[in-house]
A and B are shown apart, each in its own frame.
Chain A
Amino acid sequence: MSGIFTSSIGKKLMMSLAGIFLITFLLVHLGINLLIIIFDDPMVFNKVAHFMGKNILIKIFEIVLFGGILLHVIYALILQIQNWIARPRRYSKSNYSNTSFFSKFMIHTAIITLVFLGIHMADFYIKAKLGHALEIEVDGVFYHDFATEMLDKFKILPFVIFYIAAFIFLGFHLIHGFQSAFKTLGLDNKKYTPIIQALATLYTVVIVGGFTIIPLLIYFK
């Protein structure tokens, strides 16, 4: 039983489970963000964000989410370091094998995504937690005005470019990560793998496209 957390396969299992969890979270996050371009009234978004911030179930989910991120990052680090040690001397000319292109750069896209996540969290989440976020009062209830903050931020061109670039790198990470997670879970055969790969592509397009269209629409509005 102990091997499930410590063996190479066990560590990969933890990575993939945490990864799939984060994959589902991204869909929820995108769904909420899309409210800002679907509804003209920014309060719709603020009210949902408020609900997400106050609901006890969501609060628990938040801890699980940070746990998931931490688990994914820590196991990734351990696995990556072991992988580097497993080949002490590199090839002078390497990696010409016919493999999935993005799988070769998972650690690089991961680092970019992590840096983005740090900046993104500082911009919205931590700012709100420290009480520095804009607030708005509706019917006697105070809401964090994330909508106005987002609408303001995405009027700044470098900010828009930074976010879109980060989403593209996240997409590179997801397109391999999505289907790799299923392989690690042991789900790989001739019949279902093409479906999983198609789903991975569809998911990546939805996530990258969805998150990209929001700053673009706001900027050009």
Chain B
Amino acid sequence: MNLKLKIWRQRDPNTRGKFVNYKLNDISPESSFLEMIDVLNEELITKNEEPIVFDDDCREGICGACGMYINGRPHGPDSLITVCQLHMRKFKDGDTIVIEPWRARAFPVIRDLMVDRSAFDTLIQEAGFVSVNTGSAPDANSIPVAKKYADLSMDAASCIGCGACVAACKNASAMLFVGAKVSHLTLLPQGNVEAEDRVLKMVAKMDELGFGNCTNTGACEAECPKGITLTNIARLNREYYKATV
């Protein structure tokens, strides 16, 4: 495959970035998107140019590090995957591919396609945990959990904190992420004890960190690599009202 790439280059958080065009030839349709950028970077290094900086880690679709906004969609033109699981067969020979970093005030660009997602860590540190000393694992049957809630909690817990929800949202809102974390903990008896305190703290922190407001467009749900649903946002709203009123 021969491709034209339009990639965002930015030296550091304080420099103005710009798009740079690259041409890349003979890419295998079977290669992954990150491998395609690896090939480009090798070419750049041999030409003594700066390689493109991007986040990646596991390359198995479970760590959430590889955030890129490809052709107008977080993680590119496929559903329920991260960029490392995106393959070049999803594109056509001769395509122009536009690659941008996540864009949100709460996720400042560090360099090129790498953004600082520590706002998510700050949110978790604020109240996204169960504050008990759990000790050794208790007997699985000592705390009964209804199957329905165990399933819903597990679905929410599959969030990998990649930030695609914020990147996809036209308002750069973090409601799906916070909704997933609140649901995951609150639906279980261990986490429910601190439900009210948690939701109030996390929402206040979310607002403080400069994320936008949810308008229920559903872009987050459509782009979440783990299929976290909007019902988690509705649950976050319910939990918030319960805690406030």
Please count how many residues in chain B sit with their CB below 8 Å of the partner chain's CB atoms: 50
| Those of B208-237 within 8 Å (CB) of chain A | 210-219, 222-223, 230-231, 233-237
Is A82 a contact of B231 with CB atoms below 8 Å? no
Q: CB of B106 within 8 A of chain A?
A: yes
Q: CB of A79 within 8 A of chain B?
A: yes
Chain A residues contacting B170 (CB-CB under 8 Å) are 83, 87, 94-95, 104
Chain A contact residues (Cβ within 8 angstroms of B): what range? 35 or more
Is B204 a contact of A9 with CB atoms below 8 Å? no
Complex Cα distance, B235 from A103, in Å, reads 21
Q: CB of B206 within 8 A of chain A?
A: yes
Is B244 a contact of A99 with CB atoms below 8 Å? no
- A37-45, A51-59, A119-127, A180-188: which one contacts chain B? A180-188
Complex Cα distance, B240 from A10, in Å, reads 9
In the complex, what's the smallest C-beta–C-beta distance from B166 to chain A, in angstroms? 9
Is A91 a contact of B72 with CB atoms below 8 Å? yes
Q: CB of A36 within 8 A of chain B?
A: no
Chain B residues contacting A24 (CB-CB under 8 Å) are none
Q: Mark A69-100, 1 if CB is under 8 A from B, else 0.
A: 00000000001001101111111111111111
Is B231 a contact of A104 with CB atoms below 8 Å? no
Chain B residues contacting A100 (CB-CB under 8 Å) are 217-218
Q: CB of A63 within 8 A of chain B?
A: no
| Those of A121-171 within 8 Å (CB) of chain B | none
Chain A residues contacting B204 (CB-CB under 8 Å) are 3, 7
- B31-39, B40-48, B82-90, B96-104: which one contacts chain A? B96-104
| Those of B107-163 within 8 Å (CB) of chain A | none
Is B222 a contact of A99 with CB atoms below 8 Å? yes
In the complex, what's the smallest C-beta–C-beta distance from A132 to chain B, in angstroms? 40
In the complex, what's the smallest C-beta–C-beta distance from B49 to chain A, in angstroms? 22
Q: CB of A112 within 8 A of chain B?
A: no
Known: A79-B213, A99-B222. A188 touches B233 (CB 8 A): yes
Is A189 a contact of B231 with CB atoms below 8 Å? yes
| Those of B167-202 within 8 Å (CB) of chain A | 168, 170-173, 175, 200
Partner of B203, one of A9, A87, A90: A9
Chain A residues contacting B106 (CB-CB under 8 Å) are 86
Partner of A86, one of B79, B210, B231, B244: B210
Is A86 a contact of B100 with CB atoms below 8 Å? no
In the complex, what's the smallest C-beta–C-beta distance from A206 to chain B, in angstroms? 22
In the complex, what's the smallest C-beta–C-beta distance from B84 to chain A, in angstroms? 19
Known: A10-B244, A180-B215. A186 touches B234 (CB 8 A): yes
Partner of A103, one of B207, B216, B231: B216
Q: CB of B19 within 8 A of chain A?
A: yes
Is A99 a contact of B217 with CB atoms below 8 Å? yes
Complex Cα distance, B222 from A92, in Å, reads 20
Chain A residues contacting B200 (CB-CB under 8 Å) are 3
Complex Cα distance, B77 from A55, in Å, reads 58
Known: A86-B171, A103-B216. A91 touches B231 (CB 8 A): no
Partner of A97, one of B103, B168, B238: B168
Q: CB of A4 within 8 A of chain B?
A: yes
Is A92 a contact of B19 with CB atoms below 8 Å? yes
Q: CB of B22 within 8 A of chain A?
A: no
Known: A85-B210, A90-B103. A99 touches B172 (CB 8 A): no
Is A8 a contact of B214 with CB atoms below 8 Å? yes
Q: CB of B9 within 8 A of chain A?
A: no
Q: Mark A1-40, 1 if CB is under 8 A from B, else 0.
A: 1011001111111000000000000000000000000000
User: What are 5 inter-chain pairs, A to B, with CB distance below 8 A?
Assistant: A10-B240, A85-B105, A93-B98, A97-B168, A99-B218
Known: A3-B204, A186-B238. 19 other contacts (CB 8 A): A3-B200, A7-B203, A8-B211, A8-B212, A9-B203, A9-B240, A85-B105, A86-B173, A89-B103, A92-B98, A92-B100, A97-B223, A98-B222, A99-B217, A99-B219, A104-B170, A183-B216, A189-B231, A193-B231
